[in-house]
Chain A
Amino acid sequence: MYGTDIYLDQTSSTTDLASAFAQVLGVSTKRVVVMDQEDYEQLGSTWANPKIAMVLRTSSLRGDFPVALEIRLREDTPDLRTLLSGAARLLGASILTDELVVNPLFTSDWLMFTPDGDVIVIEADEEEFAADEPAIVLTPESRRVYEARQRPAERLATTASS
């Protein structure tokens, strides 16, 4: 059994989340369940069903990556790189993990999977993540990297709205 936390830069519907992760795992959408992080009752009853391949527990935080997902899988050592890369592409979202960075001690470093298939180390403000109300806020340098990798349509939308 495996669990970790990932962070997305945009929201998706429960259906889209389940569908994207199910597709990457190669299982039916019914076997991926999305629930609120606080819903322990549902966690217990859902995970007790051996047909469930994956549980996604959602919560939110401030900052550039406001969607938090705790992911749980039956297998002990999933291919996280393939999983996140595929989910980023299908959801059109950038996804952060701190599982695959070079030095796990450096808690400001994250690995970002973009919808276009890039995988980049970026840095977030550690103080913000450790704040009473945690946030993932990219450092100015990482923000430039992040913005440069947004899709052209999103860049246009951002420019138009600013």
Chain B
Amino acid sequence: MDRSPEDREKNRPKHRISAPLRSRHALESINRNSRPNNRNSVVLPGIDTGRETELIRQGYADSLGNNRWRINDRVYVRKGNERGTLYPESGEGVRSLSRFEFKALVLLISFGGYTEDAQRQFARDDLLTDDVVLVAFELYDLRSKK
């Protein structure tokens, strides 16, 4: 990455930052016990958020203001806590799942895919609509191919 020291200084975070929690955001870390939040920022396999955090720390990302940086076509936002935790917000390979999309994904993981048992559960749950399951299935598929 080619960037002048002045540019790096301009884009460098002014406060401490720490990498996104892998167990929360990495698609391959989601398991049958995972619990959803209101929004769930999920990063696809192969994306090294730890490395990107280091690049942001060194000033190689573009500072967007408002505690946001863009690196490798992904935007991270810093939480104003002591650790300055970064959250993958948007961009290439970052998906934002709703609560029930996340739950559908957990069900698919629990049942080992879109099995007959999984379909039976989906059919009994009006909040797990076809659209919701489709989003979850796409991610399940990507997770399985990792």
Contact = CB atoms under 8 A, between A and B. Distances in A.
Interface of A: 1, 3-5, 40-41, 43-44, 47, 61, 68, 72, 98-99, 101, 103-108, 123, 126-127, 129-134
B90 to A, nearest CB: 10
Interface of B: 21, 23-24, 29, 31, 33-41, 77, 79, 81, 85, 87, 89, 99-100, 120-121, 123-127
Contacts of B21: 126-127, 130
26 contacts: A1-B126, A1-B127, A3-B100, A4-B38, A5-B36, A5-B99, A40-B120, A40-B125, A44-B123, A98-B38, A101-B38, A104-B37, A104-B39, A105-B77, A105-B89, A106-B87, A107-B24, A107-B37, A107-B39, A107-B40, A108-B79, A123-B81, A126-B21, A130-B29, A130-B34, A132-B31
Contacts of A61: 35
Given A105-B89, A134-B35, A127 B41 contact: no
B35 A129 contact: yes
Contacts of B39: 104-105, 107
A101 to B, nearest CB: 8
A123 B120 CA distance: 37
A40 B21 CA distance: 31
Contacts of B34: 130, 134
Nearest to A45: B124
A3 B99 contact: yes
Contacts of B100: 3
B110 to A, nearest CB: 10
A35 to B, nearest CB: 12
